[in-house]
Amino acid sequence: MKHESIKLPYTYDALEPVMSTETLQYHYDKHHAGYVTKLNGLIQDTEFESKSLIEIIKHADGAIFNNAAQVYNHDFFWTTLSPKKTTPSLELQSIITTQFGSIEEFKKDFLNKGLSLFGSGWVWLCLDEGEKLSILTTSNAENPIRLGLVPLMVCDVWEHAYYIDYRNARGDYLEGWWKLLNWKFISFNYANYKKHREEYFSSFCKGNIPYSDYIDEV
Ligand SMILES: [Fe+2]
């Protein structure tokens, strides 16, 4: 199976001034595309050649895992963002408020986690089987699916995500990034979790990309 990155869901300049056209061109066309190319080369003539991205993430190690996870993480990252102003669903707002105190408190926790992550990695909002939300940081390519969690949103805190626009000021990048959140997608992920919860935890997504339904709906 030949893997591809998702089609960028907006134009290269759509996230300006928070993320410049140059950043998107490098990040999507070079970094993200690079992981896709490497993954397709690495899985040739291996047991993973015909596997879905989720199956590879769940079972592979080393370079194959790293590149597969980076493809998934970036697909998820681009979809977590939108140039349009969006708001959380009432259900999502309610669970965040119940578990974090308020959206503002959640934002503070999330951005602090992003600031304090050492080196390269990702910050996720995840749900577990008991509907407990958690803000999780993962290093390098690591991914919550390996931990049996359901991702709802993600922020890329590799330097390549912000260095062109913010240099080393990761905090400024995170503040800007928050303004671009695609709450419609995050709310969809929560609703999808509620709908398919048993399926998620018995056989995660059955090999499908969890947001493929979302992409179809939009
Ligand atoms: Fe990235």
Residue 111's identity, in one-letter code, is: L
pLDDT of residue 193: 87
Buried b (16+ CB within 10 A) or exposed e, 16-40: eebbeeebbebbbeeebeebbebbb
CATH number at residue 56: 1.10.287.990
- Asked whether residue 29 is domain-assigned, the answer is yes
pLDDT digits (tens, 9 = 90+) for 178-201: 999 999 999 999 998 888 777 776
79, 100, 126: which is the final residue of a domain? 79
The answer to whether residue 99 sits within a structural domain is yes
Task: Give this prediction's pTM.
Answer: 0.94
Residue 211 lies in a domain: no
Q: Please indicate, yes or no, if residue 127 is contained in any of the structural domains.
A: yes
15 and 156 Cβ atoms separated by less than 8 Å: no
- The answer to whether the beta carbons of residues 51 and 157 sit under 8 Å apart is no
Q: Residue 94 Cα, ligand 1 centroid: separation in angstroms? A: 30
- The 3 state secondary structure assigned to 88-136 is CCHHHHHHHHHHHCCHHHHHHHHHHHHHHCCCCEEEEEEECCCCCEEEE
Q: What is the mean pLDDT of the chain?
A: 92
| Residues 146 and 198 grouped into a single domain | yes
Asked whether residue 162 falls in the same domain as residue 190, the answer is yes
Q: Which residues surround ligand 1, an ion (CB under 5 A)?
A: 156, 158, 161
For the segment 152-180, what is each residue's pLDDT rounded down to a tens digit?
Answer: 999 999 999 999 999 999 999 999 999 99
- Is 97 in the same domain as 198? yes
- Ligand 1 midpoint to CA 161 (Å): 5
| 193 in any annotated domain | yes
Task: Determine the distance separating the centroid of ligand 1 and the alpha carbon of 114, expressed in angstroms.
Answer: 14
pLDDT tens profile 43-63: 999 999 999 888 899 899 999
Judge contact between 64 and 46, C-beta under 8 A.
yes
| CATH code of the domain containing 96 | 3.55.40.20
Same domain, 168 and 125: yes
- Is residue 10 assigned to a domain? no
Residue 91 has pLDDT above 90, yes or no: yes
Q: How far is the CA of 158 from the centre of ligand 1 (A)?
A: 6
Task: Return d(Cα 102, Cα 132) in angstroms, integer.
Answer: 15
Counted residue by residue, the chain has a size of 218
- Please report whether residue 156 resides in a domain: yes
Cα 82 to middle of ligand 1, angstroms:
16
The verdict on 113 and 64 lying in the same domain is no
Q: Does one domain contain both 113 and 142?
A: yes
Calculate how far, in angstroms, residue 163's C-alpha sits from the geometric centre of ligand 1: 11
Residue 197 lies in a domain: yes
Q: List Cα–Cα distances, 216 to 86, 96, 161, 185, 213, in angstroms.
A: 18, 26, 27, 12, 5
CB atoms near residue 48 (< 10 Å): 20
Same structural domain, 97 and 73: no
Structural domain containing residue 34: 21-79
Q: How far is the CA of 132 from the centre of ligand 1 (A)?
A: 27
Chosen domain end from 79, 101, 116: 79
Asked if residue 193 and residue 107 are part of one domain, the reply reads: yes
CA of 5 to the centre of ligand 1 (A): 12
Strand ranges in 128-197 using DSSP code E only, listed in sequence order: 133-139, 150-156
CA of 199 to the centre of ligand 1 (A): 29
**Does 123 lie in the same domain as 30?**
no
Q: How many domains does the chain have?
A: 2
What is the C-alpha separation between 56 and 102, in angstroms, rounded?
Answer: 36
From the CA of 159, how far away is ligand 1's center (Å)? 8
Task: Give the distance (Å) from ligand 1 centre to CA of residue 97.
Answer: 29
Bridge partner residues of 135 (DSSP):
125
Q: How far is the CA of 16 from the centre of ligand 1 (A)?
A: 17
Report d(CA 99, CA 67) in Å as an integer: 33
Please tell me which residue, 24 or 217, carries the higher pLDDT value.
24
